[in-house]
Amino acid sequence: MGRAVLWAAGVLVALFLLAPIVAIVPLSFSAGSFLFYPLPGLSLRWYQDFFGSDFWLPALWNSLGIGAAAAALATVLGTPAAFGLWRAKGAFRAVAMGVVLAPMVVPVIVVAVALLLAFGPLGLVATHTGLVVAHAALGAPFVVVTVLASLEGFDPVQLRAAAACGAGPLRAFFRVCLPQIAPGVAAGAVFAFATSLDEVVVALFVAGPAQRTLPRQMFSGLNDQISLTTTAAAAMLVAFSVLLLLAVSWLQSRSRRRASG
């Protein structure tokens, strides 16, 4: 009896989590122009609209470009930092960890407004560079945390063995450590990319019309009448998220297998 109630509650909550997404995706294939069911028919007209539009397609490219650049920057900076933090000890580690993880907890509105103020005199407001820098700062903690987690499965004795064989610390890192934690690094990069792809508040304050990302474009489309092209954009973002989720689960299972094997 108790178990049945538990199952009912759990399944209902799972449905609550999935329902809005399941509800919005089919609407984007509607042949009509209303945001409710039943659909008058199926068509790809809203996707045609999306790919033919002057602002949705650039927004898609902006999202992908800025996300890739921000993820690359966050990964290049975050991977060595994670390695350093893994080896570090004591007060330095605690302070550095605090700084590195701060972007995860500081409300993003504070970051957005502060960057708007700081970027002004530097000429970085409404530039791609500015948005990439901001998104890299927001994504870096995810890289560090993910790489640190995969370093848990790495035996540091191997580094000493490499040193005994005459490899310098740099060589040891690139030849011995990095190949083993590569899935973790890749997962971190995917996290950073997803962070940038999701991010809207910083884009709202710091980006100009030329840097409009997909979520930013959606946000401005949501203030007035929602068009079905917006639901097509949403459906595409959902598809991206699913791909990224699958990529990360695959990478993490590989990383775990390496750690245990």
Partner 1 sequence: MKRTSAAALLTAPLLLFLLLSFVAPIGAFLWRAASDSEVAPVLPRTVAVLAAWDGAAVPGEDAFAALVADLREARARDRETGAGSIPRAAARLNADRPGFRGLLPMTARRAEAAFDGPARDAVLAISDEWNQAETWGAIRRAGGPLSSFHVLTALDLRQDATGAIRAAPEDQSVFRAVLLRSLWISLLVTAACLALGWPLAWLIATAGGRASTLLLGAVMLPFWISLVVRTAAWMVLLQREGVVNVALRGAGLIESPLPLMMNRFAVVLAMVHILLPFMVLPLVATFRALDPRLPRAAASLGAAPWRAFLRITLPLSLPGVGAGCLLVFIQALGFYVTPALLGGPNDQMLAWFVGFYATRSVNWGLAAALSLMLLVAVGLCVALYGRLAGFRRPGAA
Residue 77, CB half-sphere, CA atoms under 13 Å: how many?
Answer: 17
Q: How far is the CB of 107 from partner 1 (least distance, A)?
A: 3
Structure tokens at 225: 């009448």
**Minimal CA–CA distance to 96: which of 86, 107, 85, 106?**
85
**CA distance to 6, 7, 150, per residue, from 1 (Å):** 9, 10, 42
Q: How far is C-alpha 179 from the geometric centre of its chain's CA atoms?
A: 23
Return all residues near 69 (Cβ < 8 A) that are at least 6 apart.
128, 132, 136
Span between the terminal Cα atoms of the chain, in Å = 42
Applying CB under 8 A, among 31, 44, 57, 109 the residue interacting with partner 1 is 109
Q: Which of residues 25-44 bind partner 1 (CB under 8 A)?
A: 27, 34-37
The yes or no reply on residue 57 touching partner 1 (CB under 8 A) is no
Applying CB under 8 A, among 61, 222, 253, 257 the residue interacting with partner 1 is 222
Q: How far is the CB of 223 from partner 1 (least distance, A)?
A: 7
Q: Which of residues 65-104 bind partner 1 (CB under 8 A)?
A: 77-78, 80-81, 83-90, 92-94, 96-97, 99-103
Q: In this structure, are residues 96 and 102 in contact, taking their beta carbons and an 8 Å threshold?
A: no
The residue assigned the tokens 């005459």 is 166
Binding window for partner 1 (CB under 8 A); candidates: 41-49, 54-62, 135-143, 175-183: 135-143
Q: Which of residues 136-155 bind partner 1 (CB under 8 A)?
A: 136-137, 140, 142, 144-146, 148-149
Binding window for partner 1 (CB under 8 A); candidates: 43-51, 53-61, 130-138, 175-183: 130-138
The yes or no reply on residue 197 touching partner 1 (CB under 8 A) is yes
Applying CB under 8 A, among 153, 176, 237, 254 the residue interacting with partner 1 is 237
Binding window for partner 1 (CB under 8 A); candidates: 40-48, 51-59, 64-72, 212-220: 212-220
Task: Examine residue 38 and say whether the peptide bond preceding it is cis (omega within 30 degrees of 0).
Answer: yes
Applying CB under 8 A, among 218, 232, 251, 259 the residue interacting with partner 1 is 218
Let me know if 121 is exposed, middle or buried by CB neighbors in 10 A (0-12, 13-18, 19+).
Answer: exposed
The per-residue b/e assignment along 10-21, b for 16 or more CB within 10 angstroms, e otherwise, is: eeeeeeeeeeee
Which residue lies nearer to partner 1 by CB, 53 or 219?
A: 219
Q: How far is the CB of 147 from partner 1 (least distance, A)?
A: 10
Count, residues near partner 1 per rule CB under 8 A: 93
Applying CB under 8 A, among 64, 116, 167, 178 the residue interacting with partner 1 is 116
Let me know if 228 is exposed, middle or buried by CB neighbors in 10 A (0-12, 13-18, 19+).
Answer: buried
The yes or no reply on residue 206 touching partner 1 (CB under 8 A) is no
Q: How far is the CB of 52 from partner 1 (least distance, A)?
A: 21
